[in-house]
Structure 1
Amino acid sequence: SVETAIREALIEAKQEQIIGRDVTPFILKRVAEMTGGDSLQSNTTLVKNNARVGADIAIAIAEQDRHTQNCYPLNNNHDSKKTSIWTPPLKSEEKSVSSTVTTVTS
């Protein structure tokens, strides 16, 4: 199974003292070898799903920006070094947070 191959590849990586950024490529290569390439299909499906989720998030952010593009700074003191800007909460935060104020200092 892929799980067994991952466990074995992790043991090999530790034995061969593979560390840091080299671990992931090593594990992916060894798991693909041990599963006869079956893990590649799983990895491809996972990457496609992650891309789809990322696209959905980007669309949601773009729609949120479209609905809030007419917001103006909360203060009118014209201090170019400090401006408060209202930022609407994310949908997941709507129930617990009514709004967020961010102070930007330049």
Structure 2
Amino acid sequence: MKGNSNFIIYLLAIYTGMRRGEILALRWQNCNFDEKKISIRQTLYRTGASKLQFQEPKTRGSKRVISLSDYAVACLRKHKAEQKVVKMWSFAYF
């Protein structure tokens, strides 16, 4: 499954139990690698046939902090580094 562009999505779903909208709304500022935690602060909702919107979670309990395993932290760090490379390459072409 590694090498799949959706690997990190599956990893977070399996290792943390996060919902799809929570994973898709996740930002790097919500990840604390040193403390091995992810903060859920928003979700991505479908508001129409083709519209998506960021919103706060529906319930107070949905805003939470999730602990990460060492493996999940390592995968997230690698994913973040790979994103930086892709971002640099995309800017080089414009």
Please report the TM-score for the alignment, with normalisation by the length of structure 2.
Answer: 0.31
Pick 1 or 2: higher relative contact order, CA cutoff 8 A, min separation 6.
2
Point out the structure with max Rg over C-alpha: 1
Higher helix share: 1
